[in-house]
């Protein structure tokens, strides 16, 4: 996994802008609250999106992901709280911030009687950053990027759900962006389409673009993101780097070997806690390191087929967090996964 | 999919897209819309049907089977061999239902329809400021409604002159105006009708900004016009009549009187302007807090 390199990138970030902490955040919300009638959609959301991160906003349907994103982009006025986007206060700074932001929110919104290309031309006409003469080329490139060139002149009406989603992605990527917001981008996509969206996100990340992806699919976030914010019932129950969040759970080494008993005895002789597991030996890494464990086993003549780090899945972390939130101590969990500063 | 971009897109350092580009894009979009094309088809055919119907109905009027509507009957009675009256007649008739319906349809699509499809969100995210979105939409509706009245008028003149014949305008006062002045009167009528239609469109746009259901816009606008017409026909409520937009529509027929009385026309015009101002103010107020 490439998480190791990601971590070093993120750890460098604070040093770059040590003078002013807000400068390294692409987006920041403070005490954000939105009430529709008597329904509290979002409450006390303090979201930090570090520059250059791919932040996965994770939560079940109705947890406030889309509402938060809509307030972030100035589409909805917050009932209370503040939003900063690329250093501009929203929604007043929309004119400065949004040209740098590409967004796909609440599914694609296009006209059924226009072709994909015509729909994009219409969106492109409204893009402040596009020079008029560059519009056709920008639209062509965006269509190519999402693999819609062949269907570009067909009516949007006839598009499959996946093609509609791709067109939405193309409109978010019409202009080179600093920040891209994708609300459930893989909705309706087949596995190939999902992989392509991941590739686009990886490309954006490589180019230094900050990405905010919301999803209710844990695997999706685990595969694409460097950072995670977990929303539950309108509040952020945890946020931070993905690796940190995952490693906060129990960690150990799982060794596959045919000589289970020999292995456990050898490790215990060396004061390394170990126990039999269904598919090998589970070693606690609290007091030792993985290479040391392997060396010990090899010295004892144990055949090691495979040794892999056993990490808590995001699913487990998520279940734990939301359960904790349901019991009423959700807010205390925020601190558990704060970034080390 | 992961294809590298051939050449970087040149980006301008500005916070707003050029307004002419926005207006052109909006107009092209509105005019290309299938329902708009159908509407213009109807607007072109309606005067032709009216001309044919009138040349047939003239006999009935002469036989004393006069329609109960005073205004329409008086116009129909002078139609024979008086082709230039047709555009005036068609505009009067269309003002009752066709033009308000079309203008409310375009207003409904402009904001409520765009909210429903999610396309409005695309504009707001570009970003186009809310005030600009409303201005662009109002411009689009105004231009298309003007084109609608022009279509009706031009086809009315052509159908009138070819089917009913005549080389001048026989006024309701009994005089005949020469061709040049006749065209002038018809153009004046078209302009007055356009402004009345703009008033309807402005109110419809205010409703359109407040809902995401285009049908609500059409229903409330047309319902409002029907209620106004009913109220306007209750003499006991004559104190209310000056406040009703539809009150000015009857006096549009003054255009084909000679000499032309201007009091009713001026009142109607001022009333329409008031409705336009109020309609757009309400639309702006709603638009600035609307959820995108």
- Nearest Cα residue to B18 out of A125, A124, A101, A136: A125
The DSSP call for residue A249 is S
pLDDT at residue A49, as a whole number? 92
- The residues near A37 (Cβ < 8 Å, ≥ 6 apart) are none
The count of structural domains within chain A is 2
Q: Which burial class, exposed, middle or buried, applies to B252 when counting CB atoms under 10 A from its CB (0-12, 13-18, 19+)?
A: buried
Co-location of A229 and A265 in the same domain: no
Which among A37, A66, A128, A171 is the top mutation candidate for probing chain B, defined by the most B β-carbons within 10 Å of its own β-carbon?
A128
Q: Is B18 in contact with A199 (Cβ distance < 8 A)?
A: no
pLDDT at A325 over 90: no
pLDDT at A341 over 70: no
Position A195 confidence tier, pLDDT thresholds 50, 70, 90: confident
Q: Is B33 in contact with A171 (Cβ distance < 8 A)?
A: no
For A11-33, how does the pLDDT look when each residue is reduced to its tens digit (9 = 90+)?
333 333 333 444 488 999 999 99
Q: Is B9 in contact with A126 (Cβ distance < 8 A)?
A: no
Q: Is B127 in contact with A129 (Cβ distance < 8 A)?
A: no
Mean of pLDDT values over B229-243:
89
Element (H, E) at A246: helix A242-247
For B133-168, how does the pLDDT look when each residue is reduced to its tens digit (9 = 90+)?
999 999 999 999 999 999 999 999 999 999 888 778
CB A308 within 8 A of CB A254: yes
- The residues near B290 (Cβ < 8 Å, ≥ 6 apart) are B115, B130, B209, B210
Co-location of A305 and A329 in the same domain: no
For A121-167, how does the pLDDT look when each residue is reduced to its tens digit (9 = 90+)?
999 999 998 888 889 999 999 999 888 999 999 999 999 888 898 99
pLDDT at A226 over 60: yes
pLDDT at residue A316, as a whole number? 73
- The residues near B95 (Cβ < 8 Å, ≥ 6 apart) are B193, B196, B197, B249, B252
Position B72 confidence tier, pLDDT thresholds 50, 70, 90: low
| Dihedral over Cα of B177, B180, B184, B186: its sign | positive
- Nearest Cα residue to B226 out of B206, B244, B199: B244
| Alpha carbon of residue B128 to chain centroid | 27
pLDDT at B34 over 90: yes
- Nearest Cα residue to B156 out of B144, B143, B140, B169: B169
Co-location of A267 and A286 in the same domain: yes
Range of the domain at A291: 252-310
3-state class of A128 per DSSP? coil
Position A190 confidence tier, pLDDT thresholds 50, 70, 90: confident
Scanning B7-26 for CB atoms below 8 A from A yields 7-18, 21-22, 24-25
CB A153 within 8 A of CB A117: yes
- What's the CATH number where A274 sits? 3.30.70
3-state class of A94 per DSSP? helix
CB A223 within 8 A of CB A198: yes
- What's the CATH number where A114 sits? 3.40.50.300
DSSP strands (E only) in A59-178: 80-85, 88-90, 101-104
Specify whether the backbone of A9 is left (phi greater than 0), alpha (psi in -120 to 50) or beta: alpha
Q: Which of B12, B13, B17 sits opposite A126 (nearest CB)?
A: B17
The more confidently predicted of residues A246 and A96 is A96
Cα–Cα distance between B9 and B213 in angstroms, integer?
38
CB B152 within 8 A of CB B87: yes
pLDDT at residue B110, as a whole number? 94
Position A328 confidence tier, pLDDT thresholds 50, 70, 90: low
Co-location of A298 and A182 in the same domain: no
For chain A, what is the mean pLDDT?
81
pLDDT at A329 over 80: no
Residue A178 lies in a domain: yes
pLDDT at residue B7, as a whole number? 55
Neighbouring CB atoms inside 10 A of A288's CB total 17
Q: Is A199 in contact with B126 (Cβ distance < 8 A)?
A: no
Co-location of A143 and A292 in the same domain: no
Residue A187 lies in a domain: yes
- DSSP output for chain B: --PPPSSPPPB---SS--HHHHHHHHHHHHHHSHHHHHHHHHHHHHHHHHHHHHHHHHHHHHTT---S-HHHHHHHTT-TT-TTHHHHHHHHHHHHTHHHHHHHHHHHIIIIIHHHHTHHHHHHHTT--HHHHHHHHHHHHHHHHHHHHHHHHHHHHHHIIIII--SSEE-TTS-EE-HHHHHHHHHHHHHHHHHHHHHHHHHHHHHHHH-S-HHHHHHHHHHHHHHHHHHHT-GGGTTTGGG-GGGGTGGGGGGGSSSPP-HHHHHHHHHHHHHHHHHHHHHHHHHTT---
Tell me which chain B residues have a C-beta less than 8 angstroms from the C-beta of A134: 9-10
pLDDT at B176 over 50: yes
Cα–Cα distance between B195 and B203 in angstroms, integer?
13
Cα–Cα distance between B182 and B184 in angstroms, integer?
5
The more confidently predicted of residues B10 and B221 is B221
Co-location of A215 and A294 in the same domain: no
Co-location of A195 and A78 in the same domain: yes
Residue whose entry in the numeric block shows the structure tokens 């595969």? A223
Q: Is A126 in contact with B22 (Cβ distance < 8 A)?
A: yes
Q: Is B1 in contact with A145 (Cβ distance < 8 A)?
A: yes
Co-location of A175 and A277 in the same domain: no
Neighbouring CB atoms inside 10 A of B44's CB total 16
- Which stretches of A285-336 are DSSP H helices? 290-299, 314-324, 330-336
Q: How far is CA B252 from CA A65, A75, B82, B186, in A?
A: 55, 44, 18, 11
Mean of pLDDT values over A251-267:
83
The answer to whether B176 contacts chain A (CB < 8 Å) is no
For chain B, what is the mean pLDDT?
87
Co-location of A126 and A191 in the same domain: yes
Mean of pLDDT values over A248-272:
80
Mean of pLDDT values over A62-66:
87
Position B59 confidence tier, pLDDT thresholds 50, 70, 90: low
- With a pLDDT cut of 70, the percent of chain A lying above it is 86
What is the ipTM score, two decimals?
0.82
Q: How far apart are the first and last CA of chain B?
A: 30
Position A282 confidence tier, pLDDT thresholds 50, 70, 90: confident
In degrees, rounded to 5, the angle at the alpha carbon of residue B92 between the alpha carbons of residues B87 and B96 is: 140
Chain A residue with minimum CA distance to B109: A111
Co-location of A56 and A191 in the same domain: yes
For B94-141, how does the pLDDT look when each residue is reduced to its tens digit (9 = 90+)?
998 899 999 999 999 999 999 999 999 999 998 999 999 999 999 999
pLDDT at residue A39, as a whole number? 87
Report domain extents, chain B.
19-287
- With a pLDDT cut of 90, the percent of chain A lying above it is 30
pLDDT at residue B26, as a whole number? 94
Residue A265 lies in a domain: yes
Mean of pLDDT values over A215-229:
84
Mean of pLDDT values over B10-23:
84
| Alpha carbon of residue B5 to chain centroid | 47
**H and E: helices and strands count for chain A:** 13, 15
Residue A284 lies in a domain: yes
CB A314 within 8 A of CB A228: yes
């Amino acid at each position: 996994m490439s998480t190791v390199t990601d971590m070093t990138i993120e750890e460098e970030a604070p040093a770059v802008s040590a003078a002013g902490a807000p400068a390294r955040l692409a987006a920041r919300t403070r005490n954000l609250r939105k009430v529709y009638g008597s329904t509290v959609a979002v409450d006390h959301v303090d979201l930090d999106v570090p520059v250059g991160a791919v932040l996965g906003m994770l939560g079940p349907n109705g947890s406030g992901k889309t509402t938060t994103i809509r307030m972030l982009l100035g589409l909805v006025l917050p009932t209370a709280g503040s939003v900063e986007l690329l250093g501009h206060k929203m929604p007043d700074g929309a004119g400065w911030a949004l040209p740098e932001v590409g967004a796909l929110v609440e599914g694609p919104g296009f006209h059924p009687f226009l072709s994909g290309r015509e729909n994009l031309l219409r969106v492109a006409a409204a893009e402040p950053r596009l020079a008029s003469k560059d519009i056709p080329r920008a639209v062509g490139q965006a269509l190519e990027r999402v693999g819609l060139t062949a269907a570009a002149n067909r009516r949007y009406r006839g598009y499959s759900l996946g093609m509609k989603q791709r067109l939405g992605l193309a409109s978010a990527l019409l202009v080179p962006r600093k920040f891209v917001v994708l609300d459930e981008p893989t909705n309706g996509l087949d596995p190939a389409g999902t992989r392509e969206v991941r590739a686009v996100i990886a490309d954006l990340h490589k180019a230094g673009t900050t990405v905010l992806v919301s999803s209710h699919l844990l695997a999706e976030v685990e595969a694409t993101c460097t950072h995670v914010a977990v929303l539950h019932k309108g509040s952020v129950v945890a946020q931070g780097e993905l690796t940190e969040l995952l490693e906060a759970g129990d960690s150990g080494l799982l060794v596959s070997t045919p000589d289970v008993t020999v292995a456990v005895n050898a490790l215990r002789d060396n004061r390394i806690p170990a126990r039999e597991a269904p598919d090998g030996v589970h070693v606690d890494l609290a007091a030792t390191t993985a290479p040391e464990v392997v060396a010990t086993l090899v010295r004892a003549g144990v055949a090691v087929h495979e040794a892999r780090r056993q990490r808590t899945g995001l699913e487990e972390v998520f279940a734990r967090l939301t359960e904790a939130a349901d019991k009423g101590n959700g807010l205390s969990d925020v601190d558990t996964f704060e970034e080390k500063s | 999919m992961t294809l590298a971009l051939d050449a970087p897109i040149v980006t301008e350092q500005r916070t707003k897209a050029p307004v002419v580009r926005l207006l052109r894009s909006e107009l092209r979009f509105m005019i290309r819309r299938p329902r708009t094309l159908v509407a213009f088809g109807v607007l072109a055919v309606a005067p032709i049907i009216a001309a044919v119907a009138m040349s047939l109905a003239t006999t009935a009027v002469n036989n004393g089977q006069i329609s109960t509507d005073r205004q329409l009957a008086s116009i129909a009675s002078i139609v024979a061999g008086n082709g230039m009256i047709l555009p005036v007649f068609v505009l009067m008739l269309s003002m009752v239902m066709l033009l308000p319906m079309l203008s409310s349809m375009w207003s409904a699509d402009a904001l409520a329809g765009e909210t429903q499809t999610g396309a409005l969100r695309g504009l707001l995210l570009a970003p186009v400021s809310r005030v600009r979105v409303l201005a662009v939409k109002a411009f689009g509706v105004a231009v298309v409604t003007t084109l609608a009245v022009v279509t009706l008028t031009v086809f009315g003149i052509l159908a009138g002159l070819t089917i009913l014949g005549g080389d001048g305008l026989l006024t309701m006062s009994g005089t005949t105006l020469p061709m040049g002045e006749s065209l002038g009167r018809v153009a004046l009528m078209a302009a007055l009708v356009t402004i009345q239609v703009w008033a309807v469109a402005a109110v419809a746009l205010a409703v359109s900004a407040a809902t995401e259901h285009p049908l609500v816009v059409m229903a409330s606008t047309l319902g409002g016009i029907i209620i106004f017409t009913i109220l306007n026909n209750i003499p006991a409520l004559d104190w209310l009549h000056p406040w009703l937009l539809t009150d000015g529509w009857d006096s549009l027929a003054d255009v084909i009187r000679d000499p032309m009385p201007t009091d009713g026309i001026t009142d109607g015009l001022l009333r329409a302007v008031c409705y336009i101002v109020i309609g757009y103010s309400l639309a702006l107020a709603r638009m600035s807090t609307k959820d995108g």
